[in-house]
Structures are given as C-alpha cells and as structure tokens.
Amino acid sequence: MVVSMKNIFHSALFLVLCFFSVAGIYILLEADFLAAVQILIYVGAITILMIFAIMLTHKLYSAKIRQSNEQVIPGLIIVGALLIATLVALGNTAWKLSFETPQAQSTVGIGRLLLTRYVLPFEIVSVVLLTALIGAVIIARRE
C-alpha cells in the first residue's frame, strides 16, 4: 500500500502501519527493547519528520503522482530472477533450530550493560548528541 498510493501523505500513513507491524514482529520474537526502539525512533521520529516535510512542500502534497512506468517488463524480469535466487537460497540452507530459552527481560540486560561495561561509549555518544543539538540550535538562531 505504501508504494501504490497516489497521495504521498497516505503513503506515509501506511508506512506508519508497516513500522508498527515490524514492532509487532519484534514483540513476537520476545525482543521488547527492539520493539520499543522501533516505535520510538521510526514511528515517533522518522515518520513525523517525513510527514512534516510533506506538509511543508505543498506542491508535492497536493500533486497526484503518475503511477505508470515504461520499464515494467525489465523490472518484472529482475524481480523474478531475484525471487528464484531467494527461493533457491532458502531451499539449500541447512536450518539449525535452537532449543535454548531466550534470556528473560532483554531490556534489563541491555540497561545493565550500558551502565556497567559500556558506560564510557554511552557517555561519549551522549556528549556527541548534545554537541549536535547545541550546534543545530546555534545554526537555527542565525537565520
């Protein structure tokens, strides 16, 4: 639906649905931290940024995008070849099943690692992000 919509704003809204679906897959895989990051970063930040950019460009927001392409046949051939290659690769893979139980509460484990073993890189990243934020404010005030 994201690619086939004629209105770019509706495409962005369907992209939000796709991002929530990926977060749901992370929840089913018991990766709650990744699901939370997916929702916060992609749904909360990236999508809002895209919708904000769409709203600022009124010409693209109100324009209807042509949905036809002259290169449909070569595209279908390439997609078919990639599909066959993927199916062959999946068929020839020796899948190994793991019967280990996943670690309970991955968020707690990540938090402990960030505040014990990786405390220096964590603090360096926070200082770099703070510097970027201050630089963005200074650049915005000049204009």
pLDDT tens track for 30-55: 888 889 999 999 888 888 888 888 77
pLDDT at position 58, please?
64
pLDDT at position 79, please?
96
Length of the chain, in residues: 143
| Whole-number average pLDDT of the chain | 85
- Kind and range of the H or E run holding 11: helix 8-28
DSSP string, 61-86: HHPPPP---TTHHHHHHHHHHHHHHH
